[in-house]
Amino acid sequence: MMTKKECKLFSQEIILPQILKRDGYKCKNCRINHKTRVYLNSLNNYVECDEFIETWAESNDRLVFTLYLELCFTDFDITNFEPSNLVSLCPKCKNNRDKEFKKKNRTLYKQEINDKNTIDFMREDKAYYVKSESKVVLTNKQFLELEDKIRRADLLQKHSDNTRHIICEIIRHINTYI
């Protein structure tokens, strides 16, 4: 099995040229050409430049750059090099496409953390614990005091409803560095 670095190198040097040729050297979504001189307009869209437009853009303080298409895995599996799984996209289209995938992964990660961080409030003397082997252990009373102090200090203004989750994360991070 290839490492992430080997997969990236293989995909960029061997696979990308084949996929670019198949896709006509254009982004599958917005149809912008590969290795084209472009600038971003006020709507954040790429505008292809000829010599005249490039001169105008530079005189109006627009950043003109060469746009390179990127290889994108439609199923988000970087080891699946099937041609049907690969498309060439411009950086903007790739970021828009990956945004939903990353959002879903963040949600799954938070859910996984919530499942791991179980708080047992049955007895005051019982220790708060993280299911993994943790090095920092708080009793429920200590945990509640810490939670109360954080809320009173207003340290988590934006996340006051999620204080317990944040404390669990802090303890998890402390445990990884101890």
Give the chain's domain count. Answer: 2
Is 165 inside a domain boundary? yes
Q: Are residues 13 and 90 part of one domain?
A: yes
Is 104 inside a domain boundary? no
What percent of the chain stands above pLDDT 70?
62
Q: Is 122's pLDDT higher than 50?
A: no
Q: Cα 30–104–3 angle (5° rounding)?
A: 80
Is 145 inside a domain boundary? yes
Q: Identify the domain boundary among 94, 124, 154.
A: 94
Is 61 inside a domain boundary? yes
Range of the domain at 55: 4-94
Is 84 inside a domain boundary? yes
110: which strand partners?
none
Q: Are residues 125 and 80 part of one domain?
A: no
Tokens at 83, concatenated: 């041609």
62-88 confidence digits (pLDDT tens): 999 999 998 888 888 777 888 888 899
